[in-house]
Structure 1
Amino acid sequence: MKKKFKSFDKRLLHWFNDTIKCKVLDRFMYRITNLGGGIFTTIILLAMIVFGKEKIRVAGIEGLTSLSVSQIFVQVLKKSLQRERPYNILKNINTFGINLRDYSFPSGHTTASFSIATTMTLNFPSISVILVILALTIGISRMYLGVHYPTDVIAGIVIGISSAVIIHFQFIELVEKFSYIIYN
């Protein structure tokens, strides 16, 4: 079974990282990947909390909570499993000059993207298609840039969605009370 996952990872990574590679995607993927980074995602959620009206503010707090929980889980897994990044193991990986020092599994950018996309989808269903496509594109960019295996991205999707759903349905009353206390 382990050999099948490794084979799947290598083939799909090669397809995203080399087979579909072109100058337009090189520029696009290098830029869009940053939308899933810690700085950008935190700034967006803090802006929603500080400048948003009631529903947007609550969604921002919920999103920040989900993002925090999911990223703690990501860091624990990265440090526990210590999976090397593809460019440290596989030959002929296009890395675009990216050299990260942490581990590969799971993808933190993908986790953050799906955590926020799921939170916002649960709160604002009318924009769900756009957010899911954006989150999926960020996940694909991680493979295109050669910094994650497909299974890293899949794990990030599962962790991101799970944390958002759990926070939304189990802790929403707590998030709403916290929001009410702060802003009233």
Structure 2
Amino acid sequence: MKNKLKKFDDLFINIINRKMKHKYLDTIMYRATNLGGGVFSSLLVLILILIGSSNVKLIGLEALGALTISQIIVHALKRILSRERPYKIIEQLNTFGINLKDYSFPSGHTTASFSIATTIALNIPKLSIVVFVIAIIVGISRIYLGVHYPTDVTAGILLGIGTALVIHFYLLEYIYTLAESLGLK
């Protein structure tokens, strides 16, 4: 199994980081990756909570729950598994001068993007394609920039979607209780 995962990583990191490389994509991916970062993800969720209608506020609280729980899991896994980032291991990788201090597995940006995208898609199905395309671009950007292996991104996708589904189908009543206590419902 480990050998198959390595082949998967090698194949897709070669395609995405090396063969797709283009000066226009360099700019797009460098900027797109920030859509999954802590600042953008947190601001998006807070904006939904603070200035949205009552339904949008509830979606914001649900997204906040999914984002918070998924990121706690991400950071715990990073510390437990301590997987070095690809740019520290693989020679001749396009790195874009990024130097991160934490570990690689799973991708926190991808997890954040997919937890928010899934929450929005579950509540506003008309936006599903848009939010998932953005989340996929964030995931691909992490590989393109050489900061994650494809398996890091795949794990982030699964973790983000899984956390949002658990919140939506099993913990939503707690979100509504919180919303009532905050006067948001």
Q: Which residue of 2 aligns with 1:156?
A: 156
Residues of 2 paired with 1:58 and 1:176: CA distance? 7
Structure 2: runs of 5 or more not aligned: none
Q: Which residue of 2 aligns with 1:33?
A: 33
1:71-104 Cα deviation digits (max 9, x unpaired) = 0000010000000000111100111110111000
Structure 1 position 139, deviation (Å): 0.2
1:173 corresponds to which letter in structure 2? E
User: Percent identity over the alignment?
Assistant: 52
Residues of 1 paired with 2:156 and 2:2: CA distance? 19
Structure 1 position 174, deviation (Å): 1.2
Structure 1 position 51, deviation (Å): 0.7
Residues of 2 paired with 1:125 and 1:3: CA distance? 38
Q: Which aligned runs of 4 or more in structure 1 are off by greater than 6 angstroms?
A: none
Residues of 2 paired with 1:178 and 1:119: CA distance? 17
Structure 1: runs of 5 or more not aligned: none
1:36 corresponds to which letter in structure 2? G
1:117 equivalent in alignment to 2:117: yes
Residues of 1 paired with 2:165 and 2:7: CA distance? 31
Structure 1 position 14, deviation (Å): 1.1
Q: Which residue of 2 aligns with 1:70?
A: 70
Structure 1 position 3, deviation (Å): 1.7
Give the 3-state SS of the residue equivalent to 1:183 in structure 2: coil
Structure 1 position 11, deviation (Å): 1.7
Residues of 2 paired with 1:9 and 1:160: CA distance? 20
Q: Provide the aligned length of Structure 1 versus Structure 2.
A: 184
Residues of 1 paired with 2:8 and 2:142: CA distance? 16
TM-score by length of 2: 0.98
How large is the Cα RMSD of the aligned pairs?
0.8
Residues of 2 paired with 1:60 and 1:2: CA distance? 38
TM-score by length of 1: 0.98
Residues of 2 paired with 1:40 and 1:132: CA distance? 16
Structure 1 position 38, deviation (Å): 0.7
Q: Which residue of 1 aligns with 2:11?
A: 11
